[in-house]
Amino acid sequence: MSTPVILASASEARATMLREAGVEAETMPARIDEDAIKEAYRAEDVAPRDLADALAEAKARRVSAMHPGALVIGSDQVLVTEGEVFDKPRDRDEARAQLMHLRGGSHELLSAAVISTGGAPVWRHVGAARLTMRPFTDEFLDAYLDAEGDAVLSTVGGYRIEGRGAQLFSRVSGDYFSILGMPLLEVLGFLRARKVLVE
């Protein structure tokens, strides 16, 4: 019997990535205090990639402690531009403000994954991608927000590049799966090494 895999997340995008890649994983939200972790790390002026890693580890540890026989995947993503880290927008107005700030410039998405077993991390990776937004018009932005509705509140930056959000960009480089929220290829490599997936 293979080792069970649990995704410590409520993210449908991450669950879909694993499922479509052929990984059978139970989904279990970690229910950590993300805001408290973010505030603590910001107070210490920690690098954004370390923040993403810490959030992913907190999720993996939390669920792994309750299911010590499983491989638990924690994952988190941060958006950073000019040293500023963005959170998911809380409402349409905040999404609009974020997109206006990002418009015409480049930003980085950092997606961390940490895998824990028995309450302790055994593997980690941070994937990265750089995205450049085109200088779209206010008219386009409002039409985009109307079309996307509450979907813009589910991701940092207010966009889903696998959908209508692709129209916001002129250039993308780096790991596509990290843009979606998890460095999938590296996760799959670890699962193969642990014999959860066939080599």
Catalytic residues: 76
Q: Strand, helix or coil at 108?
A: strand
User: In sequence order, what are the residues at sequence separation of 6 or more whose Cβ sits closer than 8 angstroms to the Cβ of residue 11?
Assistant: 75, 181
Cβ(6)–Cβ(71) under 8 Å?
yes
* DSSP notation for 24-66: -EEE------HHHHHHHHHHTT--HHHHHHHHHHHHHHHHHHH
Distance CA 25, CA 60 (A): 14
Which pair of tokens denotes residue 128? 């990265």
Distance CA 182, CA 114 (A): 10
Cβ(182)–Cβ(78) under 8 Å?
no
